[in-house]
Amino acid sequence: MAIKYAPYFLLAFLAGVGVRSFFEVPQNWILGGLGLSGGILLVAAASSKISLSLPPQSGGARPRLEILSAAPATLLIFFFLLGALRFSIFENSIAKDELHNHYGELLTLKGQVIASEPKPNSARMILETDSGRLLVVSRPYPQYKYGDKLEIKGKIEEPENYAGFDVKKYLAKDKVYSQMIFPEIVEGESAVSSAKNKVLVLLFRVREKFERSIKNVLPEPHASLADGMLLGREGVLPQDIIDAFRNTSTIHILVLSGYNITIVGGALLAFFGFFLPQIFAWSISIFGILAFTLMTGAEPAAVRAAIMALIGLVALRAGRKTLPLLSLLWAAFFMILTNPMYLRFDRGFQLSSMATLGLILLSGFFQKKFWFFPKFLGIRETAAASASAQLFVLPLLTSWGNAVSIFSLPANILVVTAVPAVMFFGFLGALGGFISGVLGQALVAPAYILISCQLFLVKFFSGLI
């Protein structure tokens, strides 16, 4: 019974996490519910033994006690409450943070940069200090990197929700409960000498050199778009281009998620499977996913996206849907168990999960419907993967305030289908740029042409909305 009904129990756990993320429920109430349902389950277990010990009735059947019929529903409630409890425990971890006790105070703190992201008019960093993690909004330059040790001085503030978005809980998923806006920053030790994780420092340095090489061989905005598709960092894009991608619901190609990696992995599998044995095509696809993960610095978001992408690859080649669906469910369960905030407040996780679910359920259907796409070099399979994933991420994009129209699906099929080729030639061009600028520009030329077509398409479809 446990194995047969395990998927339902996992879904109940995830439902408990999701419902609790929307409603404030006292933890004592949840514990009380767990105690009550646990008691019912114990009585049911005892009744099962009593039922087995009773003499058989006429016909050989043993009498069944009524309490046993309530056991499956009670188990579902029990796992639902476990999910709610896991969210509450994680949410209450703010007690371990000391910075939230100093809101409104001027403090001088020392810490290490564990994440950084450039913005058009600012930069955002997560600083790990002895008192807790802190969001730091600073000026665009100088740029600080992973592992840099800094001393900052400014006012500790509580994050504020913005335009209906729960910023507090979005930051809480990374255990960040405080922020400093444009503090005075004194740079300390460099990352090479101060960082605890030298491997991550090395990976981030490789990524930075790779990004510089992309910017050397491609002009803007092509360089930022290629950077977004390759590494999930769109850089500084003009607002009109960002709006065009949002209006056509294609902005997700610039977000680090399993969506991009799955499409690319599937394209590699279909492309190399066209003229190589399947075992070699699978090996190349898996290597491509692992290489992408390392190039992004093996951040948690990239690792989660890679796991979802591998499940998506299984879905593209599996004869049955059961195995990929169970794999997706177990992967989501363990990720949410580790950090329940991902379910509602991590957009990368949501995109990865829904895109993978779309691939599992609809990729075969669209491959049959897209008969007019050539099978050559996996073009039909890539288009089918794009369409199936897009249908399942549309509700997410709508809930995030992105425009969705009748042109969203064709725009995605045309724009996303080119992503694998853009990433392939962008990667080659960046590698060539390490040797020679001329060589890098020659190798990246196909990516430049494809990105130009993508820009034309998103502007064209955006103009129709």
Per the prediction, the chain carries an average pLDDT of 77
Residue pointed to by tokens 């900052």: 152
pLDDT of residue 325: 80
* DSSP string for residues in 43-93: HHHHHHHHHHHSPP-TTSPPP--GGGGGHHHHHHHHHHHHHHHHHHHHHGG
Q: 289-310, pLDDT tens digit by residue?
A: 777 676 665 666 667 777 777 7
Helix, strand or coil for residue 115? strand
Per-residue pLDDT at 121 exceeds 80: no
CA gap 152, 108 in Å, rounded: 6
Residues near 27 by beta carbon (within 8 Å), at least 6 away in sequence: 85, 88, 89, 92
* Highest mean predicted confidence (pLDDT) among 83-87, 226-230, 266-270, 381-385: 83-87
* pLDDT (average), residues 19-34: 88
Cis ω on the peptide bond leading into residue 221 (within 30° of 0)?
yes
Residues 6+ apart with CB under 8 A from 187: 142, 144, 148, 150
Residue 62's region, left for phi above 0, alpha for psi from -120 to 50, else beta, is: beta
Q: How far apart are CA 258 and CA 175, in angstroms?
A: 23
Q: What's the topology of domain 99-194?
A: OB fold (Dihydrolipoamide Acetyltransferase, E2P) (2.40.50)
DSSP track, 255-266: S-SHHHHHHHHH
Domain boundaries, the chain: 6-93, 99-194, 209-464
Q: Which of 67-81, 310-324, 407-421 has the lowest mean pLDDT?
A: 310-324
Structure token digits, residue 393 = 């991420």
Amino acid (one-letter) located at 148: D
pLDDT bracket for residue 81 (50, 70, 90): very high
The whole model's pTM is what? 0.72
Q: H/E/C letters for each residue in 360-382? A: HHHHHHHHHHCCCCCCHHHHHHH
Which pLDDT band holds residue 102 (cuts at 50, 70, 90)? confident
The fraction of the chain above a pLDDT of 70, given in percent, is 77
Pair 242, 455: CB distance under 8 Å:
no
186 φ, ψ (degrees, to nearest 5): -115, 120
Structure tokens at 41: 């389950």
pLDDT tens digits, 309-367 = 777 666 656 555 677 788 788 888 888 888 898 888 887 788 778 877 887 788 778 87
Distance CA 30, CA 27 (A): 5
What local confidence, expressed as pLDDT, does residue 54 receive? 42
Please spell the DSSP secondary structure of 260-314, one letter per residue. Answer: HHHHHHHHHHHHHHTTS-HHHHHHHHHHHHHHHHHHTT--HHHHHHHHHHHHHHH
- Between 193 and 16, name the one with better pLDDT: 16
Amino acid sitting at position 420: P
User: What is the token pair recorded at 96?
Assistant: 């371990």
